[in-house]
C-alpha cells in the first residue's frame, strides 16, 4: 500500500508540475505556480519517504528493493540503499528538484511577481520532464509478482558510510543549479538582466556551489579510501562530469559579482547560468547512458539514456536557442578598467572557462575521434595534468590578487603593495620546502603558490578593525575562507604529489616493508567475519619516528551478491597518511602488502571542505547591502 | 556585429554537435571492442608449452606451415568460451585446423573443460601469465585469430563465435587460402 | 568453516606481479603503469586495477624494464599491439594536436573576447 501512495504522489506532483509550467503563460499565474511548487515539495518528500520505507522494511514485493537490497544488509545501508540504484537515485534527483522549486517559490520574491511566476514556470517544465522519466521509464515503485523471499543484495563497494553523504550532497549541488537556470530563462524572457537579478541569483549559485564542492570533496575522499589505490582523482568521465558543472558554477558566481556591481558581463553571466545546470544534466546523461565508461559503477541502460537525451535536448537546446535569440538585445553596463576587481573577475572567468573547455574536450575527445576516424584513443590523467597545469598555476596566482583589488580601477603599484606580504611568504615557503628536502620544481611552485594565496586570503581583512569584527560582511569571511581552502588544497596536492612513497612486497607473517618514515611488520594474516561478508585481515604493526600503531587492511568477500573488495586501513594525520592495502596471496602463504606514505594528503579534502563552508558563509550575506563595494 | 551574433549562436551549435555525437554513439553496441593492431602482420614470436601428450605446445613456426589455421584464446574459467564450444567443434569437424591458447589455466581444469564441452584443438599452448594474449593484441576471452599459411594474421574475431558466424569464418578461410 | 572460504578462493586468483626491481626502476615502472589503460576494465590504469589481466600487464612492464628497456619502449610495444587506446597519454600527432593545443587555443579565444570587451567599453 505504501509504495502505491508514493507512486500516486509522483503522479500528482507531475500534474502540479504541468500546471506550474503552464501558469507562466497567464498574467495571474502566480496564484497557481506558487502553491503548485510548494505542494510538489511535499509530494516528492512523501514519495521519497515511501521508497525509503520499502527499503528499510525490506519490502521485496517492490522490484527495486528486491533487486538491490537484502535482509542481511546492515541497517544503515537499508536507508542509504534507497539511492544506491538507478531508479532511487533519480527519485532523489526529482525530490531535490521539487524541494528547490518550493524554496524558490518562497524565497525569490525580490524581482517581482511576474518574474517569480515565469521562473517557477521554467522550474515546472524541468520537473515535469524528470517526473515523466520516473513514471514512464524508471518507476521506482514497480511491484514484482510473486515477491521473492530474499533480495539480491547491494554492490559491496557501495556499502560504505560515504554513500550516505556523497550522492545527496552532489545532487543538492547539481539540482540547486536548476534554480539558476530558471532564473536565467526568466531573465531572458522578461529582459530583466539587471544588477538586481544578479544579486537575487547569487545566493542560489553559492548554495549550489557549496554543496557541489562538498559532494565532490567527499566523493574524492570516498574513492581514495574505498577503491584501495591511494589515488584521490582519476580524471574518470564520471568525475569529470561532476567537475564541469562545478567549474561553470565557480565562474558564474564570480561573474555574477561583476554584473551585480557594474551591470556588465550580462550575456556571459546568463550563458554561464544556463550552462552550469546544462552540464549537470549532461553529466547525469553521460553517467547513466553508458556513453562513456567509468570506474564508478552505475547501472547503464541505453533506452533510458535516449529518454534522458531527449530531455536534455529539450531543456538545454531550448534555453540556448532562447539565449541565441534574446541575448543580443541585452544592453551593456558601465565601464571598468582592466586592472580592477571587475578586471580580476574577468581573468578568473577567462581561465576557468579554458579549464572547463579542456575538461569537456578531453572527456569527449575519444568519442569525437572514433566518430570521425574510427581510431580508438584514451585520454586520462597524463593529458589532463599536463594540459591543465599551465592554466591552473596562473589561476591560483591571480586568485590571490582578485579580492585585494579595488572596484572600477586601481593602479598596478597599489595592487603590488597589497601583495607584498604574499610575495614574502611565497618566497619563504620555497626556502622552507627546499630546506625540508623538496626538489621537484613543480611541487615547489605549488607550495609557493599555496603560501602566496594563503597570505593574500588573510590580507582580505586588511584595514579592518578588530573591534568592529562583527561589522565585517559575511561575503568577506566567505571569500577569505574559500580562497584559504583552495590554498590548503593546493598545498596538499603539491606535497603529497611530490612526496608519496609507495612500496609493494609479497610477505608472510614476520615480513617487513617500509614507506617513508614508517616500517610495517606483518604480525598475522587471519580470517575475519562481518555481518554479510567474510574477510582476510592482515595485522600490521607500524613503527615510525613518532608513534607505534596497528593497521589492519582486509580483503572482503561478500555474499549476496558475491563480490570481493579491498578494505584499506589508513592512519590519517595532518602530516601525512599511511595507507595500507592487502593484496592477493600467492598461494604459498605470502600475501601482497602495499604500504603508501602520502605526506599532507588530508589537506586536499580539508581545503575542499573549507571552500564549501566559505561558499555557505558568503550565501548568508543574503540581501544585505554589500559594504565593501565602496 | 557579426562576430557577436556568431558568439550568441555558438553555444547552441556546440550543444547540437554533442547531441549528434551522443545519438551516433548510442546506436553503437554497448560492449567496446578493442581491435588488435596485429591484424595484417606476421604472428609474433612465441613458444608456448603444451598442455599434455595429446596437445603439444604452440610456436609461431607451427603457424607458418602452409595451412590456414584458427588460434582460439580460451580458458576453463571463461563462461562465454563454453557458449562458443559447439561452434568450434563444428568448424573442427569441417576440417578446420584449430589451435588453442589456454590463458591463466591449469591442465587439470582444461582437461575437465574439454571433456564437458568438446575438444576441437590440435595443439594447446599454455599461457599462464597472458604473455601470448598481449603479444597478439587480444584484450579478453574468448578471441579467435585467423592465420594464413604464411603465418600472417588475417582476421580477429572478438568475443564468442556465434552459430551464424560459422559460415562467415569458413568463407574467410577460403579467401585466406587463395592468397 | 565459512570464514576459511576466501582463503581458498584467493589462492586460485593469486597474480604474479613480475620481478622485483631496484627502487629507481620500480618508480619508473609504476609511473608507466599509471599511464597504461587496463583493457578489461572501465577507464582504469593498470596501476589502479585488481583485474588479473592488469596484473599480467604489470608483470610484463616490470619484466621488460628489468630486461633493460626504457618505459618509452615498453609503451611502444603495447601500442604496437593495441594502438593508442592502451595509453592514457595520447600521442601528440595528427588530430590529437588539437587536443593538446586546446588549453592555449581556448585561452587565446577567451583573450580575444576580453580584448573586445575592453575595446567596446574603453571609449
C82 and B CB contact within 8 Å: yes
Q: Counting Cβ atoms within 10 Å, is residue B67 exposed (0-12), middle (13-18) or buried (19+)? A: middle
Quote the CA–CA distance of A158 and A88 in Å, as a whole number.
14
- Residue C8 has what pLDDT? 30
Quote the CA–CA distance of A234 and C46 in Å, as a whole number.
12
**Rounded mean pLDDT for each run of 10 residues along chain A, 630 residues in total:** 91 94 86 92 94 92 87 86 88 94 88 91 94 91 86 79 88 94 94 90 94 95 84 90 95 92 88 95 82 63 82 94 83 78 92 96 91 89 94 94 88 90 94 92 95 93 78 88 96 93 87 90 89 88 89 85 81 92 82 91 96 93 47
A423 and C CB contact within 8 Å: no
Contacts of A306 in chain B (CB under 8 A): 26
Mark yes or no for CB contact B26/A305 under 8 Å: yes
Does pTM top 0.90 for this prediction? yes
The per-residue pLDDT for range C8-47, each reduced to its tens digit, is 333 333 446 778 788 888 889 989 999 999 988 878 899 8
Q: Which three cell numbers stand for residue C72?
A: 618509452
Quote the CA–CA distance of A14 and C78 in Å, as a whole number.
53
Give residue ranges of B with CB < 8 Å to any C CB: 3, 7, 34-38, 104, 129-131, 133-137, 139-140
**Nearest residue of chain B to residue A279 (CA atoms):** B15
User: At a CB cut-off of 8 Å and minimum separation 6, what does A524 contact?
Assistant: A509, A538, A539
> Given the DSSP bridges, would you call strands B97-103 and B124-127 parallel, antiparallel or unpaired?
parallel
Q: Which of A383, A527, A584 sits opposite C89 (nearest CB)?
A: A383
Interface partners of chain A (CB pairs < 8 Å, 3 or more) are B, C
The per-residue pLDDT for range C48-99, each reduced to its tens digit, is 887 888 889 999 999 999 999 999 999 999 999 999 999 999 999 989 999 9
DSSP run (H or E) holding B69: strand B69-74
Mark yes or no for CB contact C83/B104 under 8 Å: no
Contacts of C83 in chain B (CB under 8 A): 34-35, 37
Q: Which of B3, B38, B129 sits opposite C59 (nearest CB)?
A: B129
Q: Which of B4, B22, B34 sits opposite A309 (nearest CB)?
A: B22
Q: Which of C57, C82, C83, C116 to mutate to test the interface with B (most CBs of B within 10 A)?
A: C82
Q: Where residue B29 falls among pLDDT bands split at 50, 70, 90? A: low
Mark yes or no for CB contact B26/A271 under 8 Å: no
Query: What ipTM, to 2 d.p.?
Result: 0.87
Residues 52-111 of C with CB under 8 A from A: 83-90, 95-96, 99-100, 102-104, 106-107, 110-111
Mark yes or no for CB contact C82/B139 under 8 Å: yes
Q: Which of B35, B129, B134 sits opposite C16 (nearest CB)?
A: B129
Mark yes or no for CB contact C88/A382 under 8 Å: yes
Q: Which three cell numbers stand for residue C82?
A: 593495441
Q: Which of C11, C42, C100 sits opposite A585 (nearest CB)?
A: C11
Q: Where residue B179 falls among pLDDT bands split at 50, 70, 90? A: low
- As beta bridge partners, residue A501 has A597
HEC string for chain C: CHHHHHHHHHHHHCCCCCCCCCHHHHHHHHHHHHHEECCCCCCCEHHHCCCHHHHHHHHHHHHHHHCCCCHHHHHHHHHHHHHHHHECCCCCCCCHHHHHHHHHHHHHHHHHHHHHHHHHHHC
Instruction: Report CA-CA distances (Å) from C1 to A316, A529, A586, B107, C122.
Output: 57, 11, 21, 29, 81
For each of the domains in chain B, give its residue range(s) and CATH number, in order of start. 47-178 (3.40.30.10)
In the block, which residue shows the cell 607451427?
B62
Q: Which of B5, B18, B19 sits opposite A328 (nearest CB)?
A: B5
Domain ranges of chain A: 1-159, 411-499+603-629, 501-600
* Beta carbons of A134 and A94 less than 8 angstroms apart: yes
According to DSSP, residue A462 is labeled T
Instruction: Report CA-CA distances (Å) from A554 to A77, A533, A540, B100.
Output: 20, 11, 11, 37
Mark yes or no for CB contact C43/A380 under 8 Å: yes
Contacts of B37 in chain C (CB under 8 A): 79-83
| Strands annotated E in A171-311 | none
Q: Which three cell numbers stand for residue A21?
A: 509550467
Amino acid at each position: 500500500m505504501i509504495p502505491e501512495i508514493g507512486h500516486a504522489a509522483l503522479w500528482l506532483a507531475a500534474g502540479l508540475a504541468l500546471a506550474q509550467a503552464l501558469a507562466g503563460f497567464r498574467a495571474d499565474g502566480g496564484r497557481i505556480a506558487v502553491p503548485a511548487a510548494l505542494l510538489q515539495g511535499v509530494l516528492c518528500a512523501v514519495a521519497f519517504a515511501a521508497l525509503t520505507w520499502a527499503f528499510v522494511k525490506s519490502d521485496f514485493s517492490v522490484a527495486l528493493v528486491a533487486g538491490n537490497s537484502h535482509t542481511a544488509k546492515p541497517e544503515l545501508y537499508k536507508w542509504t540503499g534507497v539511492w544506491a540504484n538507478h531508479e532511487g537515485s533519480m527519485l532523489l534527483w526529482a525530490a531535490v528538484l521539487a524541494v528547490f522549486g518550493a524554496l524558490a517559490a518562497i524565497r525569490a520574491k525580490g524581482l517581482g511577481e511576474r518574474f517569480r511566476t515565469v521562473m517557477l514556470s521554467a522550474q515546472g517544465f524541468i520537473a515535469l520532464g524528470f517526473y515523466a522519466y520516473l513514471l514512464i521509464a524508471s518507476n521506482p515503485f514497480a511491484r514484482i509478482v510473486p515477491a521473492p523471499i530474499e533480495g539480491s543484495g547491494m554492490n559491496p563497494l557501495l556499502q560504505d558510510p560515504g554513500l550516505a553523504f556523497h550522492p545527496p550532497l552532489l545532487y543538492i549541488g547539481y539540482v540547486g543549479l536548476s534554480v539558476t537556470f530558471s532564473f536565467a530563462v526568466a531573465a531572458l524572457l522578461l529582459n530583466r538582466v539587471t544588477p538586481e537579478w544578479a544579486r537575487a541569483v547569487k545566493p542560489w549559485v553559492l548554495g549550489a556551489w557549496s554543496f557541489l564542492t562538498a559532494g565532490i570533496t567527499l566523493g574524492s575522499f570516498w574513492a581514495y579510501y574505498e577503491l584501495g589505490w591511494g589515488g584521490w582523482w582519476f580524471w574518470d568521465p564520471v568525475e569529470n562530469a561532476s567537475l564541469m558543472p562545478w567549474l561553470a558554477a565557480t565562474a558564474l558566481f564570480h561573474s555574477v559579482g561583476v554584473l551585480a556591481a557594474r551591470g556588465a558581463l550580462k550575456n556571459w553571466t546568463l550563458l554561464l547560468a544556463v550552462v552550469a545546470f546544462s552540464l549537470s544534466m549532461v553529466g547525469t546523461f553521460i553517467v547513466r547512458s553508458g556513453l562513456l565508461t567509468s570506474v564508478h559503477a552505475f547501472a547503464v541502460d541505453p533506452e533510458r539514456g535516449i529518454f534522458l537525451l531527449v530531455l536534455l535536448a529539450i531543456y538545454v537546446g531550448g534555453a540556448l536557442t532562447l539565449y541565441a535569440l534574446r541575448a543580443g538585445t541585452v544592453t551593456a553596463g558601465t565601464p571598468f578598467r582592466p586592472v580592477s576587481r571587475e578586471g580580476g573577475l574577468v581573468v578568473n572567468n577567462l581561465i576557468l572557462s579554458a579549464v572547463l573547455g579542456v575538461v569537456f574536450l578531453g572527456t569527449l575527445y575519444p568519442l569525437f575521434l572514433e566518430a570521425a576516424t574510427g581510431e580508438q584513443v584514451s585520454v586520462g590523467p597524463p593529458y589532463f595534468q599536463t594540459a591543465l597545469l599551465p592554466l591552473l598555476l596562473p589561476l591560483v596566482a591571480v586568485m590571490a590578487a582578485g579580492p585585494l583589488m579595488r572596484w572600477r580601477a586601481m593602479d598596478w603599484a597599489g595592487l603590488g603593495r597589497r601583495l607584498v606580504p604574499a610575495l614574502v611568504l611565497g618566497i619563504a615557503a620555497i626556502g622552507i620546502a627546499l630546506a625540508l628536502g623538496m626538489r621537484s620544481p613543480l611541487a615547489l611552485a605549488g607550495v609557493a603558490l599555496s603560501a602566496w594565496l594563503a597570505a593574500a586570503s588573510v590580507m582580505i581583512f586588511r584595514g579592518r578593525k578588530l573591534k568592529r569584527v562583527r561589522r565585517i560582511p559575511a561575503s568577506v569571511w566567505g571569500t577569505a575562507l574559500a580562497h584559504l581552502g583552495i590554498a590548503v588544497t593546493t598545498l596538499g596536492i603539491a606535497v603529497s604529489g611530490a612526496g608519496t612513497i609507495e612500496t609493494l612486497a609479497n610477505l608472510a607473517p614476520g615480513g617487513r616493508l617500509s614507506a617513508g618514515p614508517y616500517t610495517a611488520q606483518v604480525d598475522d594474516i587471519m580470517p575475519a567475519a562481518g555481518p554479510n561478508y567474510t574477510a582476510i585481515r592482515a595485522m600490521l604493526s607500524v613503527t615510525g619516528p613518532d608513534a607505534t600503531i596497528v593497521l589492519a587492511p582486509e580483503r572482503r568477500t561478500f555474499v549476496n551478491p558475491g563480490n570481493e573488495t579491498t578494505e584499506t586501513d589508513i592512519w590519517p594525520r595532518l602530516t601525512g597518511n599511511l595507507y595500507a592495502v592487502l593484496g592477493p596471496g600467492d598461494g604459498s602463504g605470502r600475501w601482497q602488502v602495499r604500504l603508501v606514505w602520502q605526506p599532507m594528503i588530508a589537506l586536499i579534502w580539508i581545503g575542499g571542505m573549507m571552500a564549501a563552508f566559505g561558499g555557505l558563509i558568503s550565501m548568508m550575506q543574503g540581501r544585505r547591502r554589500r559594504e565593501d563595494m565602496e | 556585429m557579426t562576430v557577436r551574433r556568431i558568439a550568441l549562436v555558438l553555444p547552441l551549435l556546440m550543444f547540437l554537435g554533442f547531441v549528434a555525437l551522443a545519438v551516433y554513439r548510442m546506436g553503437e553496441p554497448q560492449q567496446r571492442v578493442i581491435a588488435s593492431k596485429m591484424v595484417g602482420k606476421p604472428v609474433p614470436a612465441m613458444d608456448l608449452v603444451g598442455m599434455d601428450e595429446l596437445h603439444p605446445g604452440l610456436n609461431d613456426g607451427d603457424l607458418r606451415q602452409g595451412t590456414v589455421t584458427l588460434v582460439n584464446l580460451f580458458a576453463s574459467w571463461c563462461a562465454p568460451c563454453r557458449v562458443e564450444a559447439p561452434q568450434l567443434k563444428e568448424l573442427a569437424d569441417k576440417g578446420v585446423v584449430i589451435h588453442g591458447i589456454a590463458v591463466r589455466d591449469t591442465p587439470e581444469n582444461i582437461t575437465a573443460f574439454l571433456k564437458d564441452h568438446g575438444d576441437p584443438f590440435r595443439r594447446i599452448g599454455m599461457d599462464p601469465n597472458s604473455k601470448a594474449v598481449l603479444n597478439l593484441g587480444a584484450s579478453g576471452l574468448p578471441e579467435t585469430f585467423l592465420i594464413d599459411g604464411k603465418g600472417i594474421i588475417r582476421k580477429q574475431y572478438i568475443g564468442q563465435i556465434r552459430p551464424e558466424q560459422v559460415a562467415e569464418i569458413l568463407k574467410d578461410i577460403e579467401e585466406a587460402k587463395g592468397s | 568453516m565459512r570464514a576459511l572460504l576466501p582463503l581458498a578462493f584467493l589462492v586460485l586468483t593469486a597474480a604474479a606481479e613480475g620481478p622485483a626491481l631496484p627502487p629507481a626502476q620500480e618508480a619508473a615502472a609504476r609511473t608507466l603503469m599509471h599511464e597504461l589503460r587496463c583493457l578489461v576494465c572501465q577507464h582504469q590504469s593498470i596501476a589502479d586495477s585488481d583485474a588479473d589481466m592488469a596484473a599480467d600487464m604489470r608483470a610484463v612492464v616490470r619484466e621488460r624494464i628489468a630486461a633493460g628497456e626504457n618505459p618509452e619502449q615498453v609503451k611502444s610495444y603495447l601500442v604496437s599491439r593495441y594502438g593508442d587506446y592502451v595509453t592514457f597519454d595520447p600521442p601528440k600527432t595528427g588530430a590529437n594536436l588539437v587536443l593538446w593545443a586546446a588549453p592555449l587555443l581556448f585561452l587565446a579565444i577567451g583573450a580575444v573576447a576580453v580584448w573586445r570587451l575592453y575595446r567596446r567599453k574603453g571609449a
